[in-house]
Structure 1
Protein backbone atom coordinates (compact mmCIF):
# COMPACT_ATOMS: atom_id res chain seq x y z
CA UNK A 1 0.00 0.00 0.00
CA UNK A 2 1.28 3.51 -0.75
CA UNK A 3 2.37 5.46 2.30
CA UNK A 4 -0.16 7.91 3.63
CA UNK A 5 0.48 11.43 2.48
CA UNK A 6 1.52 13.73 5.28
CA UNK A 7 -0.81 16.62 6.10
CA UNK A 8 0.88 19.97 5.45
CA UNK A 9 -0.37 22.01 8.42
CA UNK A 10 1.21 25.34 7.30
CA UNK A 11 -0.50 25.00 3.90
CA UNK A 12 -3.87 24.39 5.56
CA UNK A 13 -3.37 27.32 7.94
CA UNK A 14 -2.32 29.68 5.13
CA UNK A 15 -5.32 28.59 3.05
CA UNK A 16 -7.73 29.19 5.94
CA UNK A 17 -6.27 32.64 6.58
CA UNK A 18 -6.56 33.59 2.91
CA UNK A 19 -10.14 32.29 2.67
CA UNK A 20 -11.06 34.16 5.85
CA UNK A 21 -9.64 37.42 4.51
CA UNK A 22 -11.39 36.93 1.16
CA UNK A 23 -14.69 36.39 2.98
CA UNK A 24 -14.21 39.46 5.16
CA UNK A 25 -13.19 41.54 2.15
CA UNK A 26 -16.23 40.50 0.12
CA UNK A 27 -18.56 41.27 3.04
CA UNK A 28 -17.00 44.70 3.60
CA UNK A 29 -17.15 45.60 -0.10
CA UNK A 30 -20.82 44.60 -0.28
CA UNK A 31 -21.62 46.72 2.77
CA UNK A 32 -19.64 49.62 1.31
CA UNK A 33 -21.46 49.43 -2.03
CA UNK A 34 -24.88 49.16 -0.37
CA UNK A 35 -24.25 52.04 2.02
CA UNK A 36 -26.44 55.05 1.15
CA UNK A 37 -24.43 57.91 -0.29
CA UNK A 38 -25.83 60.40 2.23
CA UNK A 39 -24.42 58.37 5.15
CA UNK A 40 -20.82 58.52 3.87
CA UNK A 41 -18.82 61.06 5.84
CA UNK A 42 -17.09 63.77 3.85
CA UNK A 43 -13.32 63.40 3.71
CA UNK A 44 -11.60 66.03 5.87
CA UNK A 45 -8.71 66.22 3.41
CA UNK A 46 -5.07 67.01 4.13
CA UNK A 47 -3.59 70.48 3.56
CA UNK A 48 -0.80 70.66 0.99
CA UNK A 49 2.75 71.40 2.12
CA UNK A 50 3.45 74.65 0.26
CA UNK A 51 7.14 75.19 0.94
CA UNK A 52 8.40 75.53 -2.64
CA UNK A 53 10.88 73.42 -4.56
CA UNK A 54 13.98 75.02 -3.01
CA UNK A 55 13.02 74.30 0.59
CA UNK A 56 11.74 70.85 -0.32
CA UNK A 57 15.01 70.13 -2.15
CA UNK A 58 16.98 71.24 0.90
CA UNK A 59 14.90 68.92 3.07
CA UNK A 60 15.43 65.91 0.76
CA UNK A 61 19.15 66.61 0.37
CA UNK A 62 19.55 66.92 4.15
CA UNK A 63 17.80 63.57 4.59
CA UNK A 64 19.99 61.85 1.96
CA UNK A 65 23.15 63.31 3.50
CA UNK A 66 22.05 62.22 6.99
CA UNK A 67 21.46 58.64 5.80
CA UNK A 68 24.76 58.60 3.88
CA UNK A 69 26.75 59.86 6.87
CA UNK A 70 25.04 57.52 9.33
CA UNK A 71 25.66 54.49 7.14
CA UNK A 72 29.32 55.36 6.57
CA UNK A 73 29.88 55.97 10.29
CA UNK A 74 28.13 52.68 11.07
CA UNK A 75 30.31 50.77 8.60
CA UNK A 76 33.46 52.40 10.02
CA UNK A 77 32.49 51.57 13.60
CA UNK A 78 31.19 48.03 13.21
CA UNK A 79 32.98 46.53 10.21
CA UNK A 80 36.58 46.13 9.15
CA UNK A 81 37.52 47.56 5.79
CA UNK A 82 37.17 44.89 3.12
CA UNK A 83 40.21 44.14 0.99
CA UNK A 84 40.15 44.44 -2.80
CA UNK A 85 38.62 41.41 -4.48
CA UNK A 86 36.98 40.19 -1.27
CA UNK A 87 33.50 38.73 -1.68
CA UNK A 88 30.59 40.96 -0.56
CA UNK A 89 29.70 40.57 3.09
CA UNK A 90 26.81 38.15 3.63
CA UNK A 91 23.62 39.67 4.95
CA UNK A 92 22.93 38.42 8.47
CA UNK A 93 20.05 39.33 10.83
CA UNK A 94 22.24 41.63 12.91
CA UNK A 95 23.62 43.41 9.84
CA UNK A 96 20.01 43.83 8.66
CA UNK A 97 19.04 45.35 12.03
CA UNK A 98 21.89 47.84 11.76
CA UNK A 99 21.07 48.63 8.12
CA UNK A 100 17.42 49.35 8.92
CA UNK A 101 18.33 51.56 11.88
CA UNK A 102 20.90 53.50 9.82
CA UNK A 103 18.24 54.14 7.18
CA UNK A 104 15.15 54.86 9.24
CA UNK A 105 16.56 56.82 12.18
CA UNK A 106 18.45 59.46 10.12
CA UNK A 107 15.30 60.06 8.06
CA UNK A 108 13.27 60.53 11.22
CA UNK A 109 15.96 62.72 12.81
CA UNK A 110 16.06 64.96 9.72
CA UNK A 111 12.29 65.40 9.81
CA UNK A 112 12.17 66.36 13.48
CA UNK A 113 15.34 68.46 13.24
CA UNK A 114 13.87 70.48 10.38
CA UNK A 115 10.63 71.05 12.31
CA UNK A 116 12.51 71.94 15.49
CA UNK A 117 15.07 74.39 14.09
CA UNK A 118 13.21 75.75 11.04
CA UNK A 119 9.56 75.80 12.09
CA UNK A 120 8.68 78.55 9.66
CA UNK A 121 9.19 76.21 6.72
CA UNK A 122 8.87 72.68 8.05
CA UNK A 123 6.59 72.67 11.11
CA UNK A 124 3.21 72.47 9.38
CA UNK A 125 0.55 70.24 10.91
CA UNK A 126 0.41 66.66 9.64
CA UNK A 127 -3.13 65.96 10.85
CA UNK A 128 -6.44 67.78 10.64
CA UNK A 129 -8.28 65.37 12.93
CA UNK A 130 -7.38 63.96 16.33
CA UNK A 131 -7.45 60.19 16.81
CA UNK A 132 -6.14 57.90 19.50
CA UNK A 133 -3.92 54.97 18.50
CA UNK A 134 -6.72 52.51 19.26
CA UNK A 135 -9.23 54.45 17.13
CA UNK A 136 -6.74 54.64 14.27
CA UNK A 137 -6.19 50.86 14.42
CA UNK A 138 -9.96 50.28 14.42
CA UNK A 139 -10.42 52.55 11.41
CA UNK A 140 -7.53 51.01 9.47
CA UNK A 141 -8.44 47.33 9.98
CA UNK A 142 -11.58 47.23 7.76
CA UNK A 143 -9.73 49.02 4.95
CA UNK A 144 -6.84 46.59 5.28
CA UNK A 145 -9.21 43.63 4.94
CA UNK A 146 -10.95 45.29 1.97
CA UNK A 147 -7.87 46.21 -0.02
CA UNK A 148 -5.57 43.27 0.73
CA UNK A 149 -7.18 40.98 -1.92
CA UNK A 150 -6.90 43.84 -4.43
CA UNK A 151 -3.17 44.00 -3.69
CA UNK A 152 -2.98 40.19 -4.12
CA UNK A 153 -4.60 40.42 -7.56
CA UNK A 154 -2.21 43.17 -8.65
CA UNK A 155 0.72 41.11 -7.34
CA UNK A 156 -0.37 38.03 -9.31
CA UNK A 157 -0.83 40.03 -12.52
CA UNK A 158 2.50 41.84 -12.12
CA UNK A 159 4.37 38.62 -11.31
CA UNK A 160 2.82 36.91 -14.34
CA UNK A 161 3.91 39.80 -16.56
CA UNK A 162 7.47 39.69 -15.20
CA UNK A 163 7.61 35.90 -15.68
CA UNK A 164 6.44 36.32 -19.28
CA UNK A 165 9.04 39.02 -19.93
CA UNK A 166 11.74 36.87 -18.36
CA UNK A 167 10.73 33.86 -20.48
CA UNK A 168 10.87 36.04 -23.59
CA UNK A 169 14.36 37.24 -22.66
CA UNK A 170 13.24 40.85 -22.27
CA UNK A 171 14.45 41.06 -18.67
CA UNK A 172 16.88 39.13 -16.53
CA UNK A 173 15.74 36.93 -13.66
CA UNK A 174 14.68 38.94 -10.64
CA UNK A 175 15.45 38.16 -7.02
CA UNK A 176 13.19 38.62 -3.99
CA UNK A 177 13.91 41.36 -1.48
CA UNK A 178 16.97 40.59 0.65
CA UNK A 179 14.99 40.87 3.88
CA UNK A 180 12.52 38.23 2.65
CA UNK A 181 15.41 35.88 1.88
CA UNK A 182 16.85 36.66 5.30
CA UNK A 183 13.61 35.82 7.13
CA UNK A 184 13.34 32.55 5.20
CA UNK A 185 16.95 31.59 5.98
CA UNK A 186 16.58 32.19 9.70
CA UNK A 187 19.39 33.16 12.07
CA UNK A 188 19.61 34.80 15.47
CA UNK A 189 16.10 34.69 17.03
CA UNK A 190 16.77 37.94 18.90
CA UNK A 191 17.86 39.77 15.74
CA UNK A 192 14.91 38.37 13.79
CA UNK A 193 12.58 39.49 16.59
CA UNK A 194 14.04 43.00 16.50
CA UNK A 195 13.65 43.09 12.71
CA UNK A 196 10.01 42.07 13.04
CA UNK A 197 9.35 44.82 15.60
CA UNK A 198 11.03 47.40 13.38
CA UNK A 199 9.06 46.23 10.34
CA UNK A 200 5.76 46.50 12.21
CA UNK A 201 6.43 49.61 14.31
CA UNK A 202 9.43 51.69 13.20
CA UNK A 203 9.16 51.35 9.41
CA UNK A 204 5.44 52.29 9.19
CA UNK A 205 5.95 55.35 11.38
CA UNK A 206 9.02 56.66 9.54
CA UNK A 207 7.85 55.82 6.01
CA UNK A 208 4.39 57.30 6.50
CA UNK A 209 5.81 60.51 7.96
CA UNK A 210 8.27 60.90 5.07
CA UNK A 211 6.29 59.59 2.09
CA UNK A 212 2.74 60.61 3.00
CA UNK A 213 3.29 63.38 5.55
CA UNK A 214 6.05 65.11 3.56
CA UNK A 215 6.52 63.97 -0.05
CA UNK A 216 2.83 63.42 -0.84
CA UNK A 217 1.74 66.68 0.78
CA UNK A 218 4.43 68.63 -1.09
CA UNK A 219 3.54 67.06 -4.44
CA UNK A 220 -0.10 67.86 -3.71
CA UNK A 221 0.90 71.53 -3.52
CA UNK A 222 2.37 71.26 -7.02
CA UNK A 223 -0.37 69.27 -8.73
CA UNK A 224 -3.78 67.70 -8.06
CA UNK A 225 -4.52 64.95 -5.58
CA UNK A 226 -4.40 61.83 -7.80
CA UNK A 227 -1.12 62.60 -9.61
CA UNK A 228 0.46 63.40 -6.23
CA UNK A 229 -0.74 60.07 -4.86
CA UNK A 230 0.63 58.14 -7.85
CA UNK A 231 3.98 59.95 -7.99
CA UNK A 232 4.63 59.73 -4.24
CA UNK A 233 3.69 56.04 -4.33
CA UNK A 234 6.16 55.41 -7.17
CA UNK A 235 8.91 57.06 -5.11
CA UNK A 236 7.85 54.98 -2.10
CA UNK A 237 8.02 51.79 -4.18
CA UNK A 238 11.38 52.63 -5.77
CA UNK A 239 12.89 53.07 -2.32
CA UNK A 240 12.37 49.33 -1.75
CA UNK A 241 14.55 48.66 -4.82
CA UNK A 242 12.87 45.46 -5.98
CA UNK A 243 11.27 44.94 -9.37
CA UNK A 244 8.98 42.13 -8.19
CA UNK A 245 7.28 44.35 -5.61
CA UNK A 246 7.30 47.61 -7.59
CA UNK A 247 3.70 47.77 -8.88
CA UNK A 248 2.10 46.15 -5.79
CA UNK A 249 3.84 48.70 -3.57
CA UNK A 250 2.66 51.52 -5.83
CA UNK A 251 -0.91 50.34 -5.18
CA UNK A 252 -0.19 50.09 -1.45
CA UNK A 253 1.18 53.65 -1.50
CA UNK A 254 -1.91 54.99 -3.29
CA UNK A 255 -4.19 53.28 -0.75
CA UNK A 256 -2.16 54.73 2.12
CA UNK A 257 -2.36 58.25 0.66
CA UNK A 258 -6.12 57.93 0.13
CA UNK A 259 -6.59 56.72 3.71
CA UNK A 260 -4.57 59.69 4.91
CA UNK A 261 -6.87 62.02 2.98
CA UNK A 262 -10.03 60.22 4.09
CA UNK A 263 -9.20 60.07 7.79
CA UNK A 264 -7.30 63.33 8.14
CA UNK A 265 -4.83 61.61 10.45
CA UNK A 266 -1.52 59.93 9.60
CA UNK A 267 -2.05 57.35 12.36
CA UNK A 268 -4.60 55.55 10.17
CA UNK A 269 -2.08 55.16 7.35
CA UNK A 270 0.57 54.06 9.85
CA UNK A 271 -1.84 51.45 11.22
CA UNK A 272 -2.67 50.11 7.74
CA UNK A 273 1.04 49.96 6.93
CA UNK A 274 1.70 48.09 10.18
CA UNK A 275 -1.10 45.59 9.44
CA UNK A 276 0.30 45.04 5.94
CA UNK A 277 3.85 44.41 7.16
CA UNK A 278 2.69 42.20 10.02
CA UNK A 279 0.51 40.09 7.72
CA UNK A 280 3.30 39.76 5.14
CA UNK A 281 5.76 38.57 7.78
CA UNK A 282 3.20 36.21 9.30
CA UNK A 283 2.49 34.57 5.95
CA UNK A 284 6.21 34.43 5.19
CA UNK A 285 6.79 32.58 8.47
CA UNK A 286 3.93 30.15 7.82
CA UNK A 287 4.93 29.39 4.23
CA UNK A 288 8.59 28.92 5.18
CA UNK A 289 7.53 25.91 7.28
CA UNK A 290 5.50 24.32 4.48
CA UNK A 291 6.83 21.52 2.30
CA UNK A 292 4.18 22.08 -0.39
CA UNK A 293 4.28 25.87 -0.90
CA UNK A 294 7.06 27.05 -3.26
CA UNK A 295 9.58 29.27 -1.50
Structure 2
Protein backbone atom coordinates (compact mmCIF):
# COMPACT_ATOMS: atom_id res chain seq x y z
CA UNK A 1 0.00 0.00 0.00
CA UNK A 2 1.58 3.33 -1.05
CA UNK A 3 2.43 5.68 1.76
CA UNK A 4 1.01 9.17 1.74
CA UNK A 5 3.54 11.96 1.20
CA UNK A 6 4.46 13.71 4.40
CA UNK A 7 3.60 17.35 4.81
CA UNK A 8 6.65 19.58 5.20
CA UNK A 9 5.34 21.97 7.85
CA UNK A 10 8.46 24.20 7.90
CA UNK A 11 8.20 24.65 4.12
CA UNK A 12 4.55 25.69 4.46
CA UNK A 13 5.33 28.12 7.28
CA UNK A 14 8.25 29.64 5.34
CA UNK A 15 6.11 29.98 2.21
CA UNK A 16 3.29 31.68 4.12
CA UNK A 17 5.73 34.07 5.79
CA UNK A 18 7.31 35.03 2.48
CA UNK A 19 3.95 35.48 0.75
CA UNK A 20 2.60 37.60 3.60
CA UNK A 21 5.67 39.84 3.52
CA UNK A 22 5.50 40.20 -0.26
CA UNK A 23 1.81 41.11 -0.02
CA UNK A 24 2.42 43.59 2.79
CA UNK A 25 5.33 45.12 0.91
CA UNK A 26 3.28 45.53 -2.27
CA UNK A 27 0.44 47.19 -0.34
CA UNK A 28 2.82 49.55 1.45
CA UNK A 29 4.59 50.48 -1.80
CA UNK A 30 1.22 51.12 -3.48
CA UNK A 31 0.16 53.39 -0.60
CA UNK A 32 3.55 55.13 -0.72
CA UNK A 33 3.24 55.81 -4.46
CA UNK A 34 -0.35 57.03 -4.15
CA UNK A 35 0.41 59.35 -1.24
CA UNK A 36 0.93 62.99 -2.28
CA UNK A 37 4.48 64.18 -1.90
CA UNK A 38 5.05 66.21 1.25
CA UNK A 39 6.64 69.56 0.52
CA UNK A 40 8.13 69.74 4.01
CA UNK A 41 11.74 68.60 4.21
CA UNK A 42 12.52 65.39 6.02
CA UNK A 43 13.72 65.80 9.61
CA UNK A 44 17.16 64.54 8.68
CA UNK A 45 19.97 63.88 11.12
CA UNK A 46 22.72 66.27 12.23
CA UNK A 47 26.09 65.85 10.53
CA UNK A 48 29.07 65.10 12.78
CA UNK A 49 31.58 67.81 11.87
CA UNK A 50 34.60 66.81 13.94
CA UNK A 51 37.22 66.65 11.21
CA UNK A 52 39.30 63.71 10.00
CA UNK A 53 41.84 63.86 12.83
CA UNK A 54 39.30 63.57 15.65
CA UNK A 55 37.33 60.97 13.72
CA UNK A 56 40.51 58.97 13.13
CA UNK A 57 41.34 59.12 16.84
CA UNK A 58 37.83 57.85 17.63
CA UNK A 59 38.07 54.92 15.18
CA UNK A 60 41.59 54.01 16.30
CA UNK A 61 40.46 54.06 19.94
CA UNK A 62 37.70 51.56 19.11
CA UNK A 63 40.04 49.25 17.19
CA UNK A 64 42.69 49.35 19.92
CA UNK A 65 40.12 48.77 22.68
CA UNK A 66 38.69 45.72 20.89
CA UNK A 67 42.21 44.36 20.26
CA UNK A 68 43.30 44.83 23.89
CA UNK A 69 40.12 43.40 25.40
CA UNK A 70 40.13 40.36 23.11
CA UNK A 71 43.81 39.64 23.75
CA UNK A 72 43.36 40.06 27.50
CA UNK A 73 40.41 37.65 27.45
CA UNK A 74 42.34 35.18 25.29
CA UNK A 75 45.23 35.19 27.75
CA UNK A 76 42.85 34.88 30.69
CA UNK A 77 40.63 32.06 29.44
CA UNK A 78 42.76 30.16 26.92
CA UNK A 79 46.21 28.60 27.04
CA UNK A 80 48.74 29.73 24.45
CA UNK A 81 48.37 27.46 21.37
CA UNK A 82 51.30 25.34 20.22
CA UNK A 83 52.18 24.43 16.63
CA UNK A 84 50.54 21.00 16.92
CA UNK A 85 47.25 22.26 18.34
CA UNK A 86 44.18 22.08 16.11
CA UNK A 87 42.33 25.34 15.38
CA UNK A 88 39.95 26.36 18.13
CA UNK A 89 36.43 25.13 17.35
CA UNK A 90 33.66 27.71 17.56
CA UNK A 91 31.16 26.68 20.22
CA UNK A 92 28.00 28.53 21.29
CA UNK A 93 29.61 29.85 24.47
CA UNK A 94 32.76 30.88 22.61
CA UNK A 95 30.55 32.74 20.12
CA UNK A 96 28.80 34.53 23.00
CA UNK A 97 32.16 35.61 24.38
CA UNK A 98 33.38 36.72 20.94
CA UNK A 99 30.32 38.88 20.34
CA UNK A 100 30.57 40.51 23.76
CA UNK A 101 34.30 41.20 23.32
CA UNK A 102 33.58 42.91 20.02
CA UNK A 103 30.45 44.90 20.81
CA UNK A 104 31.03 46.08 24.37
CA UNK A 105 34.47 47.72 23.86
CA UNK A 106 33.09 49.74 20.92
CA UNK A 107 30.13 50.85 23.01
CA UNK A 108 32.44 51.75 25.92
CA UNK A 109 34.66 53.91 23.67
CA UNK A 110 31.61 55.71 22.28
CA UNK A 111 30.23 56.60 25.71
CA UNK A 112 33.68 57.29 27.14
CA UNK A 113 34.45 59.75 24.35
CA UNK A 114 31.13 61.54 24.87
CA UNK A 115 31.62 61.61 28.63
CA UNK A 116 35.23 62.80 28.82
CA UNK A 117 35.54 64.79 25.56
CA UNK A 118 32.10 66.32 25.06
CA UNK A 119 33.44 69.20 23.01
CA UNK A 120 34.27 66.85 20.14
CA UNK A 121 32.19 63.74 20.62
CA UNK A 122 28.98 64.60 22.50
CA UNK A 123 27.04 65.81 19.47
CA UNK A 124 23.29 65.32 19.10
CA UNK A 125 22.30 62.00 17.49
CA UNK A 126 18.64 62.81 16.80
CA UNK A 127 16.69 65.72 15.35
CA UNK A 128 13.36 64.19 16.38
CA UNK A 129 12.41 62.88 19.80
CA UNK A 130 10.46 59.62 19.68
CA UNK A 131 9.34 57.13 22.27
CA UNK A 132 10.50 53.55 21.88
CA UNK A 133 7.01 52.48 20.75
CA UNK A 134 6.69 55.36 18.27
CA UNK A 135 10.05 54.41 16.76
CA UNK A 136 8.88 50.79 16.48
CA UNK A 137 5.70 51.90 14.67
CA UNK A 138 7.80 53.75 12.11
CA UNK A 139 10.30 50.91 11.67
CA UNK A 140 7.83 48.10 10.95
CA UNK A 141 6.35 49.52 7.71
CA UNK A 142 9.84 50.44 6.46
CA UNK A 143 11.09 46.93 7.23
CA UNK A 144 8.18 45.28 5.40
CA UNK A 145 8.61 47.58 2.40
CA UNK A 146 12.33 47.08 2.00
CA UNK A 147 12.80 43.41 2.94
CA UNK A 148 11.94 42.17 -0.60
CA UNK A 149 14.50 44.66 -1.96
CA UNK A 150 17.13 42.99 0.23
CA UNK A 151 15.97 39.57 -1.00
CA UNK A 152 16.34 40.63 -4.64
CA UNK A 153 19.84 41.98 -3.99
CA UNK A 154 20.75 38.73 -2.24
CA UNK A 155 19.42 36.56 -5.08
CA UNK A 156 21.25 38.59 -7.75
CA UNK A 157 24.50 38.61 -5.75
CA UNK A 158 24.33 34.88 -4.97
CA UNK A 159 23.60 34.00 -8.62
CA UNK A 160 26.54 36.08 -9.81
CA UNK A 161 28.93 34.59 -7.25
CA UNK A 162 27.74 31.05 -8.07
CA UNK A 163 28.36 31.72 -11.76
CA UNK A 164 31.87 33.00 -11.01
CA UNK A 165 32.49 29.95 -8.84
CA UNK A 166 31.27 27.58 -11.58
CA UNK A 167 33.56 29.33 -14.07
CA UNK A 168 36.54 28.81 -11.75
CA UNK A 169 37.09 32.52 -11.24
CA UNK A 170 36.61 32.28 -7.48
CA UNK A 171 36.80 29.40 -5.01
CA UNK A 172 33.85 27.85 -3.25
CA UNK A 173 32.62 29.70 -0.18
CA UNK A 174 32.79 28.12 3.23
CA UNK A 175 29.56 28.53 5.23
CA UNK A 176 29.55 31.27 7.84
CA UNK A 177 30.53 29.85 11.22
CA UNK A 178 27.71 31.56 13.09
CA UNK A 179 25.10 30.25 10.63
CA UNK A 180 26.49 26.73 10.96
CA UNK A 181 26.44 27.16 14.73
CA UNK A 182 22.76 28.13 14.76
CA UNK A 183 21.89 25.24 12.44
CA UNK A 184 23.75 22.64 14.49
CA UNK A 185 22.43 23.90 17.83
CA UNK A 186 24.10 23.29 21.16
CA UNK A 187 23.63 24.56 24.69
CA UNK A 188 20.13 26.14 24.67
CA UNK A 189 21.21 28.88 27.08
CA UNK A 190 24.16 29.90 24.90
CA UNK A 191 22.05 29.80 21.72
CA UNK A 192 19.40 31.88 23.49
CA UNK A 193 22.00 34.45 24.51
CA UNK A 194 23.32 34.58 20.94
CA UNK A 195 19.80 35.23 19.65
CA UNK A 196 19.28 37.93 22.28
CA UNK A 197 22.52 39.64 21.36
CA UNK A 198 21.73 39.44 17.64
CA UNK A 199 18.29 40.99 18.15
CA UNK A 200 19.06 43.47 20.95
CA UNK A 201 22.76 44.18 21.52
CA UNK A 202 24.01 44.15 17.91
CA UNK A 203 21.33 46.55 16.56
CA UNK A 204 21.99 49.03 19.38
CA UNK A 205 25.80 48.99 19.11
CA UNK A 206 26.02 48.80 15.33
CA UNK A 207 23.48 51.55 14.75
CA UNK A 208 25.27 53.83 17.20
CA UNK A 209 28.65 53.21 15.54
CA UNK A 210 27.77 52.86 11.86
CA UNK A 211 24.83 55.23 11.52
CA UNK A 212 25.18 57.48 14.56
CA UNK A 213 28.93 57.99 14.08
CA UNK A 214 30.33 56.83 10.73
CA UNK A 215 27.37 57.87 8.58
CA UNK A 216 26.97 61.25 10.26
CA UNK A 217 30.69 61.96 9.90
CA UNK A 218 30.68 60.98 6.21
CA UNK A 219 27.62 63.16 5.75
CA UNK A 220 29.65 66.11 7.06
CA UNK A 221 32.27 65.43 4.36
CA UNK A 222 29.95 64.79 1.41
CA UNK A 223 26.24 64.59 0.53
CA UNK A 224 23.64 62.15 1.81
CA UNK A 225 23.69 59.47 -0.88
CA UNK A 226 27.49 58.99 -1.05
CA UNK A 227 27.60 58.96 2.75
CA UNK A 228 24.89 56.30 2.85
CA UNK A 229 26.67 54.11 0.28
CA UNK A 230 30.10 54.48 1.90
CA UNK A 231 28.78 53.77 5.40
CA UNK A 232 26.89 50.76 3.98
CA UNK A 233 30.13 49.44 2.47
CA UNK A 234 31.98 49.84 5.77
CA UNK A 235 29.09 48.12 7.59
CA UNK A 236 29.20 45.20 5.14
CA UNK A 237 33.00 44.85 5.24
CA UNK A 238 32.89 44.54 9.02
CA UNK A 239 30.94 41.30 8.61
CA UNK A 240 33.80 39.90 6.48
CA UNK A 241 31.78 37.63 4.19
CA UNK A 242 31.87 38.01 0.41
CA UNK A 243 28.67 36.00 -0.11
CA UNK A 244 26.64 38.51 1.90
CA UNK A 245 28.62 41.64 0.94
CA UNK A 246 26.15 43.16 -1.54
CA UNK A 247 22.99 42.42 0.49
CA UNK A 248 24.59 43.91 3.60
CA UNK A 249 25.62 47.02 1.66
CA UNK A 250 21.94 47.40 0.70
CA UNK A 251 20.92 46.85 4.33
CA UNK A 252 23.43 49.49 5.47
CA UNK A 253 22.15 52.00 2.91
CA UNK A 254 18.53 51.35 3.88
CA UNK A 255 19.31 51.73 7.58
CA UNK A 256 20.96 55.09 6.91
CA UNK A 257 17.98 56.20 4.82
CA UNK A 258 15.54 55.13 7.54
CA UNK A 259 17.61 57.05 10.09
CA UNK A 260 17.70 60.11 7.84
CA UNK A 261 13.99 60.04 7.08
CA UNK A 262 12.87 59.54 10.69
CA UNK A 263 15.46 61.77 12.33
CA UNK A 264 15.80 59.30 15.19
CA UNK A 265 18.34 56.49 15.62
CA UNK A 266 15.87 54.23 17.43
CA UNK A 267 13.94 53.71 14.19
CA UNK A 268 16.98 52.23 12.44
CA UNK A 269 17.70 50.17 15.58
CA UNK A 270 14.23 48.64 15.38
CA UNK A 271 14.63 48.02 11.63
CA UNK A 272 17.99 46.32 12.28
CA UNK A 273 16.50 44.23 15.10
CA UNK A 274 13.59 43.11 12.88
CA UNK A 275 15.98 42.15 10.09
CA UNK A 276 18.19 40.07 12.40
CA UNK A 277 15.18 38.46 14.09
CA UNK A 278 13.56 37.53 10.78
CA UNK A 279 16.87 36.15 9.42
CA UNK A 280 17.26 33.94 12.49
CA UNK A 281 13.63 32.83 12.28
CA UNK A 282 14.05 31.78 8.65
CA UNK A 283 17.31 30.04 9.51
CA UNK A 284 15.52 28.09 12.24
CA UNK A 285 12.65 27.14 9.92
CA UNK A 286 14.92 26.01 7.08
CA UNK A 287 17.03 23.92 9.47
CA UNK A 288 13.87 21.92 10.31
CA UNK A 289 12.92 21.23 6.70
CA UNK A 290 14.19 18.50 4.40
CA UNK A 291 13.05 20.32 1.26
CA UNK A 292 14.27 23.89 1.72
CA UNK A 293 17.85 24.44 0.46
CA UNK A 294 20.19 25.28 3.33
Q: Which residue of 1 aligns with 2:29?
A: 29
Q: Which residue of 1 aligns with 2:191?
A: 192
How many Å separate the matches in 1 of 2:53 and 2:195?
37
Q: Which residue of 2 aligns with 1:73?
A: 72
Q: Which residue of 1 aligns with 2:98?
A: 99
Q: Output the TM-score relative to the length of structure 2.
A: 0.98
How many Å separate the matches in 2 of 1:261 and 1:247?
21
Q: Which residue of 1 aligns with 2:287?
A: 288
Q: Which residue of 2 aligns with 1:202?
A: 201
5+ residue gaps, structure 2: none
Q: Any idea what SS the aligned residue of 1:43 has?
A: coil
Q: Which residue of 2 aligns with 1:279?
A: 278
How many Å separate the matches in 1 of 2:218 and 2:6?
54
Hey, which bits of structure 1, 4+ residues long, moved more than 4 A? Answer: none
- Note if contact 1:63-1:110 (Cα within 8 Å) is conserved in structure 2: yes
Q: Which residue of 2 aligns with 1:45?
A: 44
Q: Which residue of 2 aligns with 1:139?
A: 138
Map residues 213-224 of structure 1 onto 2, 5 A cutoff.
213-224=212-223
1:133-172 C-alpha deviation (Å, 9 max, x unpaired): 1111110000000000110011000000000000001111
RMSD of aligned alpha carbons = 0.9
Q: Which residue of 1 aligns with 2:162?
A: 163
How many Å separate the matches in 2 of 1:99 and 1:252?
23
Aligned length: 294
Report deviation, 1:41.
5.5
Report deviation, 1:188.
0.4
Q: Which residue of 2 aligns with 1:260?
A: 259
Q: Which residue of 2 aligns with 1:16?
A: 16
How many Å separate the matches in 1 of 2:163 and 2:255?
30
How many Å separate the matches in 1 of 2:272 and 2:29?
20
Report deviation, 1:62.
0.3
Q: Any idea what SS the aligned residue of 2:243 has?
A: coil
Q: Any idea what SS the aligned residue of 2:242 has?
A: coil
How many Å separate the matches in 2 of 1:43 and 1:85?
59
Q: Any idea what SS the aligned residue of 1:249 has?
A: helix
How many Å separate the matches in 1 of 2:184 and 2:76?
26
5+ residue gaps, structure 1: none
